[in-house]
Amino acid sequence: METNPDEQPSGGLVRRVVAFDVGDRRIGVAVSDPLGFTAQPLFTLHRTGGKGGHRAEMKSVARVLRKHSVAEAVVGNPLYMSGDQSPQAAKAQAFAEELRAEFGLVVHLWDERLTTTEAHRHLDAGGHAAGHERRQIIDQVAAVLVLQSFLDARANQAARSAAAAGPE
């Protein structure tokens, strides 16, 4: 279920958007600036598994939401190139549902095909070596790419809507 990027949170106050790149071992986390123009990496949440690990993950998510006054979230939806749902997409969708249920957030699933490949290209261009260093930041970079794509689409949709409305 892809959502429309021009849906704004209610209340008029611009609040941040957080993005999650959900994997089996790690979750990359990125956040927008307060105006919703740019995405910045926050951290990588290491998944420990088990019931206790899951509670710890949700506590970390809750802290991020509070600290950054998050109004909505974007969860990368890793579909197959054909557009079909992958097993990992089902896990990302379950994570998105949990965010909605636990925190009452508006959560957007966002197509993230090829973001990890693009993240590796960015890290290569920046001279980041393979190995442990890369594993620590690759998920954050992927989350930034997902969020920036969402923010750009939202801004483009708003510009098209304003142009269609014409001058006042």
Question: 54 vs 123, which has greater pLDDT?
Answer: 54
The tens digit of pLDDT for each residue in 4-50 reads 443 444 444 558 999 999 999 999 999 999 999 999 999 999 988 76
Between CA 37 and CA 112, with CA 43 as vertex, the angle to 5 degrees is: 60
Q: How far apart, in whole angstroms, are the C-alpha atoms of residue 87 and residue 139?
A: 18
Nearest to 23 by CA among 73, 126, 72, 95: 95
The strand pair at 106-111 and 70-77 is best described as parallel
Q: What is the rounded end-to-end Cα distance, in angstroms, of the chain?
A: 35
Boundaries of every domain in the chain:
16-149
The tens digit of pLDDT for each residue in 39-67 reads 999 999 998 876 667 888 999 999 999 99
- In CATH terms, the fold of domain 16-149 is Nucleotidyltransferase; domain 5 (3.30.420)
Q: Residue 122's pLDDT band (boundaries 50, 70, 90)? A: confident
Asked if pLDDT for residue 142 goes beyond 80, the answer is: yes
Q: Hey, what are 12's tokens?
A: 């008029």
